[in-house]
Structure formats: structure tokens, C-alpha cells
A and B are shown apart, each in its own frame.
Chain A
Amino acid sequence: MQPFEFVEPRTIDEAVALLSAQPESEVRIIAGASDLLSEIKEGVIAPRRLVSLGGIPELRGIQATAEGLRLGAMTTITEIAQHPAIVSRYASLAQAAQGLATWQIRNVGTLGGNLAQRPRCWYYRHPLAVCLKKGGDRCYALAGVSKHLCVTGGDRCYIVHPSDTAVALSVFDAQVEIAGPSGSRSVALGDFFAGPGRDLTRENILEPGELVTGVVVVQIPPGPLYQRGEANNTPLPQRHALSTAERGGGGISEVRSLYLKARERETGDFALVSVALALELEGGIVRQARCALGGVAPVPYRAHEVEEYLQDKRVSGADAVHAGSLALSHPRPMAGNGYKVPLARNLVKRAVAELLR
């Protein structure tokens, strides 16, 4: 490992200045470091300067705002997993956080880091495989092991985005706040991530010198007390009753969401495939459905066909198996990851069945 300089700015502006002062390849942001240090130790990257975000108070914590909840980029995964407002209203996010990595990593890992983490592709992570993403000339997985890679959206590079929170946040109206040399901006979460077609070497739209400062999720009213989900990837759905007044008339409305994660062991594992589903129900009818999949594409994958199918469906009339069959519109699995197609369909089926139970 190459020696590096560790700097700890006190403000976002200082951090941006430090990030912009050097070529992008030589400087990295360090937050929880669970991803970054393994990349450095394994020889995947060799930055000369690490800019810590640990000394910037405004990046920390979860605040209720007029629009909803603002989660600072340095909020830890454990804070998200245990925050009462998230647990009671944004079940999919809470469940994603609760099932993410291990206790130790959740305690240090941050929301910003989780969204901006690098892919887990075995070739990308191996110092001897200089793949396209690392400036090399080929994708090793095409002739090698594609078990964990994408079944849709691949373009020369076939990574999947590994973030659980990104998938879970995709079913809420979430905005990503970004600070950079040319000021601050805010983009919808769905526009934050970008596949290899845009730029092989990155997974999002952050420009050099930019950093994520926080995520804002739109207001969802409080619901009944959170019930702990049972093990084995089938958490109980969250039901949030919206009063008539809040909905501006009509029947009783509620928002339900959940996150299901298929993996090879019960903890300390990334998703093979994951599903986040949120339904807004009113009078037994689905008013709005949002469905996102992890582990299938280079970005969190919105299953629009599932959403369209569920839209305006009566709860009793929804066919979970059919919904599942719509999970991936035109999957193009690689030689070794065809299993992800039935897995994605089955998980969507299970998610729909659970939420409409």
C-alpha cells in the first residue's frame, strides 16, 4: 500500500477545495472507510490523499424538514436502521439498513459511502485483473465468472450496483444533495446513478471534486409501530394509515413498503438480488406502486412494468406471480447468472404477496 496523506476539513467548502486540488486519481473521500480501505489494501486503488468527512458537523444526522427527512451523508447505517421515523415510515429503507453487511460495518458505514461505494465485481476487486473499469482493455467476466454480475443494463462492463440503501430509497421520492467546485445541486436518486454506457469508470454522475452531502426523502406520514420482520428475508410489511384529512378526502390511505434481500448467508453478504417495493393504498386499491431491484443491473433497477401492473389494481385482484413475471423486461443474462432472472421474479412475487397480505 502506497503511503497517503490524511486530511480532515471542517467544512464542506474546505472538503471540496481539497478534493479539487489534485487529479481525481490521487484523491479519495474517506467516510466510514469500510469499502475504501479494502480497495486500498487490496491494491485496487492507490490514492495519495484521503479527505475525511468525519470532521464536518453538517454532514451528520437525520433531521425532519418541511419536505421530509434529510439524512446527512455521514449518517451511519446503524443510525438509519434504528431511527424511529425511518423505522415507522420508510420500512424498506430501515429493513435494507438492518440487513446490510454486519453490525460492525453498519456502525461505521455511512449513507453517503453506501451510495457511492464501488462495485464488488471479483475482477474489478482483483489487483491482477486490469479490467475496463480500471482502464484496461477487456471485461474478464465475459469469459470468466459472471455469477454476481448484471442481467440487464450491461454495456461492455457488467457490474451490479452493490448498495442496499440505494435500492430501498428508490421507492421513495428521494433527492441526492451534491456539493462541488461549481456550487451545490440536487438530483433525483434515479438520476444519480449511471451505468457503464455513460462512463465505464464511474457508477454515478458525481464530477471530479464533488461529494454527496445528504439525501432528502419526501414526507410520509407516521404509521403504526414498527413490527420486527421475521428472519429469512421475509420482513413483515409496514402499514401506514393516512387519515382522510391528510389525503385530502377519499378513503383511508396507507403506504406500505418492504425490502427483500436474497443472499448466500444470513449476514455479512451482499445481495444476489434484492427488491424494494412501496405501495400507496387507498380503499383497497393501489394508488401508486414503486418497485426497484438490486443485483440485476449496474444501477438500481426500476421495475416499471411491475409498477404499471399494480397501478389501480384492487388488492384482492392482484396476481403476485404475474407481477413477478414482469420484474425484468428484457433480461440478457450472461453465461453464469441466468439464475438471477427467476430469483428476481420470485422476489417480486414474494414482495407483492407480502405487501398485499
Chain B
Amino acid sequence: MTTSTIGQNVVRTDLQAKLTGQAKYAADLKLPGMLHAAVLRSPHPHANIRSLDASRARQLSGVYAIVTPFDAPPGKVGPDLAVLDTRVRFVGDEVAAVAAVDAETARLACSLLQVDYEVLPFVLDPDEAMKPGAVALHSGGNLVGGKPLSLERGSVEQGFAQADLALEEEYFIPVHSATALEPRAALASWEGDSLTVWKSSRGVHQDQAILAEALGIPVAKVRVIGPFLGAGFGSKDESRLGALTAVLAQRAGRPVRLEYSRSDEFVAGRTRHGGRIKLRVGLKQDGSITAIHMTAALNKGAYLASGPNMMRRLGQGALYLYKCPNARYDAYLVYTNRPVGGSYRALGAPQGHFALECLMDRAAEALGMDSLEFRLKNQVPPEGQPGRRTTPPGQLIDSQPLEGGVPFSSSGLDQCLRRGAEVFGWGNPPNPPLQRRARGNFAPPTDPAKKRGRGMSMMIYRGGPGFTSAAEVRVDTEGRISLVCGLMDVGEGATTVLAQLAAEALDIPPQDIRLMFADSAATPTAPITAGSTATFSTGTAVVQAAAKLRQQLLDLAADGLEAPVNDLDMAGGAIFVKSDPARRMSLSEVVRRGVGGSEQNPPNPPLAKGSQGGFLSASVTANPGSADYIINSFGAHFAEVEVDTDTGHVRVLRFVAAHDSGRIINPRMALNQVEGGISQMLGFALSEELVTDQPTGITLNGSYLEHKCPTILDYPDVQVIFADVVDPIGPHGAKALGEVPSVGVAPAIANAIYNAIGVRFNQLPITPQRVLEALANK
């Protein structure tokens, strides 16, 4: 091994293509004869479509194909989502789609579709939707699964009985959009009965399976290719996009491209789930926690998408972040006539942690303890929760366990709290309580109306086991190494990290590795890029496949060099005898030997010069996990804010994020992930909300102007720290990172606002309006 690339700031594999505009996204792709599609969306929050007359649209010159609920294929694109349905369930739901010579004609044709709606009552609020007599969106009723999810460790009833003090609060979570820069897009093309779709995707094999199911054709007839993705944060793609494009292309007999508009993306893309969270905590005077009980009513919107996973993830903080023998989580996932909640960065974890970390801040205050001290005392220890293991011996421990008695594979939580606090300057001087708010080491605010405060949060997030993942590493007869992997790089940089991991085993520079990713016809089956597990799961497969290939090459070279394998090493694209480095074979020579030929003794049939017809390859399928340990990631966030009590405006001045994600493979890209998570959730905390009008069900602010993402001018000074942790199970010691930084941002800011002005906000976003209202009522 000469130089390790693990822990190096290897430049992103796609950097140049993206910076120079060469990178092609789905909406950039064109095929000869390609048509453009448009979608007619429902103007009603809930309606049956009695009939749809497409005759006027068909007569429009340039219209090639139309798909309506009455002629769509009968398959499904999700458990409760038809290709098109005679029932529409939110304003913006898909009614029909048209393909035409250009997008304008397609849109004009949509406006000519005559739809006869039977307007139905609608419901927007999960509590209302659960009441008897509420209009049902789906045949099974509005409560998903017909009952709540209920999980309990120990007995919260007994826990609260033992408590000296119980605190309870209710928290309200808004719906907000992932606001990916790229609105989703797809291009579909048929050759005979075979379909190829290029689309905004988080997983080409998942999309392949969905399309096959939706269209009623064999999986083998569908090929999905993932071009560059303009980010999705999990939200791409749980929609009808691919299926509608494919059906139109089939009917038109020509390739069809469908792009969502910006407002489509906001309203008919997928959002974060909002809802109401009730949290109760039992405390002892000595500062320990006797019981934690979270109850959530979550707004599913019209279709299921990732609802159950979101719901489960929302409760994990309450169940596991604080050491507590008695913890319970009850969650109601409820259909409403609102835009669809889907996968969005960390699913439910930011919502759950907002409630948890705000209430624990209150708990610390009620006990007269400093927020940091309270968390240091009550954080889940490395040996895990009290209680008994319930997973049978030998079976993998879940990434979000309920049981006690299982230790973590590694935990840097304490380190995150202590190092983050140190860098932030939390304890020196100590964070002043409200009533004695000395300004300490703060720079004094310039205006008496501006109040400063500091707050913190901590977080836990799932890691392994993630998903079953496969990787193949090849060397061709020219000695060129390729990494073949079905995974979709969703913009976070998976290809770079995976190339680093492969390069490490083969001792070549990562940039020399050819990458073949995200093509369902050419790569091994891959999971979706979700759950912060690409590095952990696919990375493990890559490390193992590269090691396997290395061994194959060494074995072949041992034969060729007539030297024992253990006297061989590999570096710079060659294998040499350690005791006599002059005796060496290039990888090209080794491969030619392996595939049955050499320059002196060509293979039969002969390979053309430069041909990749012959190559050596190693494939591995892995689902790394542990039967003995929980594999989780941790973090601690610290925020300093300035609240302008004249305007209600909150400015985050400073933010320190300390994360334990195991060993960091690429520090610069990891830093980008953390900074991105903070900026994204700054909006969740302070400004972003997708507002649906109560009387009409219309979603009112589906635009970048009115769904207020923070700008670079709103961004605080951020310092990022990575805990010094090497996980024993993850590849090269790595654990989950991608979603984790989004988890603790909002509560750290909310707690800092409380410290500044003495108001606890239980509802996000904390806008100037809410601050001024709260100050007026104080």
C-alpha cells in the first residue's frame, strides 16, 4: 500500500462535468422525434372523475397521445397509487397526461380535456380525518393500517409512577418541500416491447420494478437509466412520473419527455410529513429520566409513499436517544387531501427530534440543570439501553431497535457533546440561564431590541444494517479498472466515495477507476439511495469485491511470476515480487493471462486491440450488519441566534455541528453534507412551510418566492467537527452521515431562541409573525 485515499479530500468524480455544464440531467436529454408531455392536474381536493372527454384535445394539431384514468394500464406505481385513478385526492393530483410536438401544445391540449368531476367532501387535518364519519380517501379508511404503530420498552405507566416530575408538550410540524433545484423529469423510449426510461431517480432498479408492475410487463423488458440527479433528498421519485411518460411514449410510438414545472414539483412532488406530536417525559429530582412517551398524529397527504418508514423513524429519538428503561411510541399515520408526504432527508427524524430536544431542554431547566449537563448525564451510553435483548442470538440487530441490552458498535455521542460544546464555547462561561442573562463572551448586540441566545440539541440516527447491496469490480485486458454498481449517485457523491474504496484495495488513484453506475441493464441490482447507507452498505460490497479481485489478480500473477502469493504486492497498476521488485507483471498482462491470452500467446478468438471483450471481474453482494451491536450515528448541534424583537426576525449567527459518522472517507464531501443539512433545515426551523388553504384545499405557495428557503445571506458561520471514531463494522470504519445533519438543527435553534427571548416555540417554522405574536402575548 503506497498512499491511502481513505480520509483524503478526493475531488468529486462529477465535479468538472457539473461545473462546466457538461453534466446531463434528465431534462437535458433528447432523442430524435421526441415529444413533450404535460399533465392535467386536479383543481379539486377530492373528487370522482365521472367522465373525461378528450375529443377536443385529440383534434388539436400536434397531439400524439393521451392517457386518462379510463384507458390507463391497470397496474400500480405504489401500494395505493394507480397509474391514473378515477378518484383524485388532492389539488394537483394527476388527472390525465398528453404528449405533443412541444410542451406548449401539450399544455394547451390538457386545457381542452373536458372532465366531469363529482366533487367530494375533503379533509386536511389528521385528527379530523380520524374522526368517525370523516370522508375516507382510500377503501381501508384514513388511518393507515387501521391501527396506530405502538412500541414500548419497559412500562411508561410504571415509569411515570416513579417520576418526581412529569412534563408534557405538544409540537406542530409543518409540511415543507425538499426544493431540489431540478424539478423531476423523465424520458421514455420503446423499441418493440422493450422500454428504456431515463429519469430523475433515487434507484434505477426500484424504478424498473415499479414500471414493470405499472405497465404489466416483465422486469426484463424495462431498462432504467439514472442520468445526473439535480438532488432529490429522497423525494425522487415516488410519483407517477415514469409510468405516465412510458405510457405516452408507447401510445405515441415516439420517445416522450415529461418535465415537472416548479409549481408541480412543490405541489405534486413529495414533501416532508407534517403533523402533531405529543411528548411526555418523567423525571427524577436527581436528573434521571424514568419515562418517555411520544404520541404522533402524522399527515400522510393523499398517498402512502414512504409513510410507514417515516413514522417509524420519527419515534426512534424518543425511544433511544436518552437512557431510559421505559419508553413508548404511538403513531397514527393518517390520509388527508393534502400534497403527498414522501421521503425527505431523514424522513421523520427531524420532526421527532424537534419535539424531543425541545422538551428535554425544558426538562433540564425544570431540574435546574444546564442543557449540556443534562444531556451528558442522560445520553444513551455505549452499552445501549437498559433491558433485555429480544433479538434471537445470531440474528442481525435492527438499525432502529426497541430492545435494551444491546451495545452500540461504536458511539461518539459523548465526544460530540463534549467537543462540540468546547468548540462552541458552551461552558466557558456557562450558558447563562434566562433570568441572569449576562452577555458573557457574546459580542454585545448593537441594538437593545436584539437579543442573543444559545441552544443545543443531540441526535441519533439509524445506520446498519442498511440494504442488500452489490458491486462488481473489473479489470480489462488493457489493465483498466471499472467499478460497476447499480447505485444512483443522488448528488451527494456516492460515486466518488465508492471509487475511493475500490481504489484503496487495488492501490490505484480513484480517478483512474471507470465508473459504470445506475443502469438497470448493465449493473448489478442496487437498493435505492436512501437511509444514509450508500457508503455503509454498498461501500462494504465495493471493498469486498475489490479485495476479491485483488486476490484473483495476485493468484494469477503468482502463477505467471512463479512466486508465492504472499511475496507479491500490487501498486501503480502492476504486481511485483516484494523481495525482487524488478520481477513484475502489468495488470494488463495478468488479465490477459486470466482470460486466456497474452501478447505472445493471443486468446482464441483474438481480442481486438483495446477491446474490453475480455476482463476479470469480482462481484459481491453484501448486507453488512451485526448480530451483536447496534450500528448508529450520532451528533450534537449548538446554535447562537440573535432575535430582533422589533421585527421578529431570527438570525442564526453561529452553528457548531459535531458528528459521529465513524471514519470519514472524504472529509470535504462530508463537510458539504453537514453544511447542506444545516442550510436545508434552517428553512425548516425558521421560514419554510408549504401552506394548504383550509377552506379550499389549494396549496397556496408552491414557489421559491413564497416557500422561503434560506439564502446564502441567511446562512450562519458554521463549524463542523467529526468525532474520532472508527466503527468496527462499517467499511474502513465508516457509518451513516447523509441525512444525520438535518436531524438536530431545528431544536438547537428553537432552544437558542428561548434562551434569547424566553419564549418556547412548539410550532415550526419560527417566522417573524410567530415571534411577534408570541412577544405580544408574553
Residue positions of A touching B, CB distance < 8 A: 1-3, 42, 122-123, 126, 128-129, 140, 143-145, 147, 231-234, 262-269, 272, 336-339, 342-343, 346-347, 349-350
Contact = CB atoms under 8 A, between A and B. Distances in A.
Given A140-B693, A144-B694, A342-B776, A1 B107 contact: yes
Given A1-B104, A343-B768, A346-B646, A123 B776 contact: no
B768 A265 contact: no
B708 A267 contact: no
Given A262-B647, A343-B772, A267 B695 contact: no
B698 interface: yes
B262 to A, nearest CB: 9
Cβ-closest 4 pairs across A and B: A266-B713, A346-B646, A339-B772, A122-B700
A265 B706 contact: no
B644 interface: yes
B373 interface: no
Given A140-B693, A339-B776, A264 B768 contact: yes
A140 B705 contact: no
Nearest to B682: A265
Contacts of A2: 108
B768 A262 contact: yes
Contacts of B43: 128
11 contacts: A2-B108, A122-B691, A128-B696, A140-B693, A262-B647, A264-B708, A272-B768, A339-B648, A346-B646, A347-B646, A347-B647
Contact of B693 (A144, A262, A266): A144
A328 to B, nearest CB: 14
A89 B104 CA distance: 48
Contacts of B446: 234
A262 B649 contact: yes
B772 A342 contact: yes
A122 B701 contact: yes
A97 to B, nearest CB: 17
Contacts of B714: 265-266
B713 A339 contact: no
B708 A265 contact: yes
Nearest to B107: A1
Interface in B684-703: 687, 691, 693-696, 698, 700-701
B449 interface: yes
- Interface majority SS (helix, strand, loop, mixed), chain B: loop
A350 B704 CA distance: 30
Given A232-B644, A336-B769, A346-B647, 19 more contacts: A3-B104, A122-B701, A123-B700, A147-B769, A232-B649, A233-B647, A234-B447, A263-B649, A264-B687, A264-B767, A264-B768, A265-B687, A266-B711, A268-B704, A338-B773, A343-B646, A346-B449, A350-B449, A350-B646
A336 B772 CA distance: 12
Interface residues of B, number: 41
Given A140-B693, A140-B696, A145-B693, A232 B651 contact: yes
A138 to B, nearest CB: 10
Contacts of B647: 233, 262, 272, 343, 346-347
Contact of A126 (B108, B646, B700, B704): B700
A178 B775 CA distance: 45
B711 A267 contact: yes
B710 interface: yes
A293 to B, nearest CB: 14
B274 to A, nearest CB: 16
B91 interface: yes
A4 B772 CA distance: 45
B263 interface: yes
Nearest to B92: A128
Nearest to A42: B263
Interface in B379-403: none
Nearest to A273: B647
B691 A145 contact: yes
A202 B687 CA distance: 31
A128 B107 contact: no
Contact of B773 (A122, A234, A269, A339): A339
Contacts of A147: 769
